[in-house]
Amino acid sequence: MPLRRMVESIWYARGTIPYARERIAPTGSTVAVIVLGDAIIETPDDGHGPAFRAERGFLIGPHDRPVINAPTGETFAVGVVCAPIGCEAALGVVPATLRGRVVDLESVWAPATGLRGDLLEAHEPAAMLDLVEDWLFRAPTPVAGLDRCARAVALLEADPTRPIAEIAASVGVSHGHLDRQFTRIVGLSPRVLARLLRMRRMLQDIDVAGDVPWADLAADLGWFDQAHLIRDFRRHTGVTPTQYMDAQRRTFIPGEPGDAAGFVPEVVALPR
């Protein structure tokens, strides 16, 4: 099974953010992080879930609300962003059991302990990324229905406003069958993932340095009106569109649209 089907990205991060914490909007993916430096506090459900202090690593399950990321010092970590269909195939973890949760990575993915040791012995970021890729290649888990759900996800990514019944018909199953299989493999229902993909596309397309035609965006991406867009925007990012734009403009150097999509920096400190 090609790794690119299971994994969206493998990343390395080292440094200190110039603010206390940040909201990170959901994308439909699960995220595994191996912590190599100072602890990181992750709080799901836009800060309303139980905070998890990660000393060695954490896994963010599929979710539809922002996760609050609060480093306690310098961030030094390596991470894997699984594709929506990739959590069980890449890590052997059923994502539906982790929906809306942040858990200790080593408790659900045994190879994390050995991989962390290898990473601590490596010195160059490129070597670390190669190590993670090698570990992921070792034992992919066969998942029944993966191909069908992969096709369904691809159809939703192409047009997240397309009716789910049409998606189900296109992949040869009933609406109910797709819902059940999709929710098991992705950890979210097709309808929820479609909403996340719409928001993700909009955030990636926004030029925060310019004027944003919110009404036009709402119409183009299938919202009934601007009020419905604002409601979903707040649920997705934890803030209003105006607050999102202000936070992005205040914090990030202007670049290509989508460079920091979905990140909402905050200056308020989390309790340690």
- State residue 269's pLDDT score: 43
What radius of gyration, in Å, describes the C-alpha atoms of the chain?
19
Q: What is the mean pLDDT for each group of 10 consecutive residues in the chain (272 residues)?
A: 84 92 95 98 97 98 96 97 95 94 96 96 94 86 93 95 96 96 97 94 86 84 85 94 90 67 74 41
What DSSP state is assigned to residue 17?
Answer: -
Q: In what order do the strands lie in the sheet with 40-43?
A: 52-54, 40-43, 67-71, 21-24, 263-266
The pTM (predicted TM-score) of the whole model is 0.92
Paired tokens of 103:
């858990």
CA distance 130 to 114: 15
- State residue 3's pLDDT score: 76
Residue-wise over 50-85: b if at least 16 C-beta within 10 A, else e?
eebebeebbbbbbbbbbbbbbbeeebbbbbbbbbbb
